[in-house]
A and B are shown apart, each in its own frame.
Chain A
Amino acid sequence: MSADIDRGGFMEQTDQPARYHVRFTLGQRYLHAVVFSTFIGLALTGLPLRFSHSAWAEGFAHAVGGFAAILFFHKFCGVLLTAAFLIHLGDLFRRGAIKKEKGIFWGPDSLVPRGKDFVDLYRHIRWFFWRGPRPKFDRYAYWEKFDYWAVFWGMAIIGLSGYAMWFAPLAAKIIPGSWLNIALVLHGEEALLAVWFIFVVHFFNTHLRPGSFPMDLVIFTGKERDKEFQEKRPVEYERLRQEGRLEGEMTTVAPARWLKNFGRIVGAAIIVTGFILLVLTLATFFNA
């Protein structure tokens, strides 16, 4: 496949086939697919409950077969997302405790925040106001780390409170029954935060911002074009180059066209669904 067929956001200047680098493994991409599918499923079936007195919530509930169907699907997605969360934790444990990959807990390849992230945030904001150059980001930029930890914290809070309500009498053996009141507040408010955050901040930062618009396909293909990699994460690019890893096993050819199209269709569907939910929930929230 030659470069000119491959119309990304970044046209190559040469006739050379574009070079691609692996950013996400197949396992990570599958896990993300499970996370976003179930997230949308949970949002679709959870938001009608959070806004149960709005007309669209009632209409949606009727359309999909009533609350019984909604609850079943909500629990189904919840269990799948829990499984994905546990698989991720298991993977962290395997890489951290068994394979002793120290890099996943600290350093440039880790999602754990470090000093540079705060400096990057400060410089990024200065750049917003034409007060300095754009900061050079490493493998995970500060907003990507925030995305990760927001979802991590969200899944823990929403998951625990959700299971507490699902198995309420059982949960009451551990926690007082009055905490079930708190569980609903935590579940609903954290979910609303998660939904609005993902549908506004994550969608923009990762997909819709100029530079990635209309979407960053790397989470579907796992691969990123050399030039895009260099421009988005120059620090990591330079490090790999110096370590001589830029030419190694992580370098590959362009992703298959079907995979990119698949990513575009699925991604667009998710983004559109997200925006519809965003508009509906915002309208209801500020009308109440």
Chain B
Amino acid sequence: MGANMGWSVVAILLLALGGSVPALAAATAPQNATCLACHGQPGATGPSGRSISVSPSHFAKSVHSSLSCTSCHTSITGYPHPATVQPVQCGTCHSTEASDVTASVHAKVAAVPCLGCHGNPHEIVPATDSSSPVYPLNVPRTCGTCHSNPAMAKQYGLPNVYSMYMDSIHGFALTKEGLLVAASCSSCHGTHKILSHTNPQSRTYRTNIPDTCGTCHEGPKVAYFAGIHGQRLKAGDPRAPTCTDCHTAHHIAQVETVAWQMKTSATCGNCHKQEYVTYLDTFHAQVSALGYTETAHCWNCHGNHDILPPSNPQSTVNPANLVTTCGRCHAGASERFVSYQPHADPRNRQDYPLLWTVTLFMNLLLISVLGFFGIHTVLWFIRSTFSRQSGGRRQP
């Protein structure tokens, strides 16, 4: 119904203009004004019902206003033109961007992938214009057009990253604070040449991530490569964690938050299993589990980006530095004090014989006392219940 009406509008307009248009068409490619005579009408639609309307005022403000319609719509050489026209090749002018997109994960998303991000082709404004879909503050919403779509996420096996990003410190800075330098999607993934994180060329490939994050976070990047994790990554160790292994990729939290502090020791424990299990036995961990952050988490003792093995004299947990490290929380920490074992294992008789013995003794004490008096209690209960039933109130 709507499509038919739109088409009849076009037909009437064509009749009205019938005198002059064919004459021009025969001579040369139509002028913009000629095209806009039809296409400038609001609500103009093609035979399929698709909008073929171009807003003359918006086009006049766009970056392409100096171009003629046929600069892009090259298949149209005169009027009347065929009902179907060839897709516009943005790459004719934007060749670098076009070849980048062709190489990227977005190469096949549409006939003209450019429009998905840059919006209405007749109204493209500079990226510095706050109305541009690729203006820094608008980028997440633009990418989110597809990447917040659960069906699409499922189809391509992608996590629904949009909501994660919006809840992250980057998303908060960008959308709530309007911080132009805050990382948006393109800051990490790039723009036209977005590659899968499995591609070694990708900015989000494991070993490239420190450099990608380091674009802004230079300090942590330098510290990271000074530390054992960065050195191992550089040496090609596939187990070495990169930024996102601890901070996540999209759901990056502020490290001061309780939520972050509560869960991140477990993140370290993904690799450092034994150390994590023994940490859980300590008062430090018990306190942390109750939501109290003023206690020792992994990084409070070991440092964070520039973690070094204890054997390194620079390490915060090198025996020579323990008094200083423990003393940061425990005023008055001494050499004797730091012989405390923050990763003692009561199940390990070899390394912690005294602790193992005490634990065994306490367990035996617990079992024997409760076992003896537990049975005592049950027998007493049975016996006294019987004696009260059969012998009246109480039986001596």
Contacts and interface: CB of A to CB of B under 8 A. Distances in A.
B381 to A, nearest CB: 7
Interface stretch (B34-42, B54-62, B206-214, B287-295): B287-295
Contact of B396 (A134, A186, A192): A134
A52 B287 contact: yes
Given A61-B290, A67-B287, A178 B354 contact: yes
A71 B330 CA distance: 16
A218 interface: no
A25 interface: no
A185 B346 contact: yes
A231 interface: yes
Given A49-B286, A178-B340, A209-B384, A67 B291 contact: yes
A177 B340 contact: yes
Nearest to A130: B383
A158 B113 CA distance: 70
B291 A189 contact: no
B379 interface: yes
Contacts of A182: 354-355, 358
A19 to B, nearest CB: 18
Contacts of B365: 189, 193
By size class, the interface of chain A is 35 or more
B151 interface: no
A168 interface: yes
Nearest to B331: A169
A178 B366 contact: no
Contact of A189 (B336, B339, B344, B362): B362
Interface string A80-106: 000000000000000000000000000
Given A52-B289, A52-B290, A178-B341, A170 B395 contact: no
Nearest to A175: B336
A112 B350 CA distance: 40
Contact of B286 (A52, A150, A169): A52
Nearest to B337: A172
B221 to A, nearest CB: 35
A249 B280 CA distance: 58
A210 B386 CA distance: 10
A133 B396 contact: yes
Contact of A177 (B336, B359, B374, B380): B336
Nearest to B286: A52
A197 interface: yes
B373 interface: yes
A10 B355 CA distance: 52
A231 B396 contact: yes
Contacts, number: 147
Contact of A181 (B331, B340, B382): B340
Contacts of A150: 369
A181 B396 contact: no
Interface centre among B287, B336, B369, B385 (most CB of A within 10 A): B336
Interface string B339-371: 111001010000010110011001101100110
Contacts of A129: 379, 383
A128 B383 contact: yes
A177 B377 CA distance: 40
Contacts of B280: 53
A128 B381 CA distance: 9
A152 to B, nearest CB: 14
B81 interface: no
Which bucket holds chain B's interface residue count? 35 or more
Contacts of A205: 377, 380
A200 B374 contact: yes
Given A128-B380, A192-B366, A67 B292 contact: yes
A130 B365 CA distance: 29
A180 interface: yes
Contacts of B385: 210
Contacts of A27: none
Given A169-B332, A209-B384, A210-B384, A176 B339 contact: yes
Contacts of B369: 150, 193, 197
B283 interface: yes
A124 B379 CA distance: 10
A70 to B, nearest CB: 7
A173 B334 CA distance: 8
Interface in A157-174: 165, 168-170, 172-173
B370 A181 contact: no
Interface string A44-56: 0000111011000
- From A62, A170, A210, residue with most partner B Cβ within 10 Å: A210
B377 A52 contact: no
A58 interface: yes
A61 B291 contact: yes
Given A173-B336, A182-B358, A186-B358, A193 B366 contact: yes
Nearest to B294: A68
Given A125-B379, A193-B365, A169 B333 contact: yes
Given A177-B340, A182-B354, A184-B282, A189 B366 contact: yes
Nearest to B386: A130
B338 interface: yes
Contact of B332 (A130, A134, A170, A204): A170
7 contacts: A49-B286, A61-B291, A129-B383, A143-B373, A172-B336, A181-B282, A209-B381
Interface of B: 280, 282-283, 285-287, 289-292, 330-334, 336-341, 344, 346, 352, 354-355, 358-359, 362-363, 365-366, 369-370, 373-374, 376-377, 379-385, 388, 393-396
Interface of A: 10, 48-50, 52-53, 57-58, 61-62, 66-68, 70-71, 124-125, 127-130, 133-134, 136, 143, 146, 150, 165, 168-170, 172-173, 176-178, 180-182, 184-186, 189-190, 192-193, 196-197, 200-201, 204-205, 209-211, 231, 234
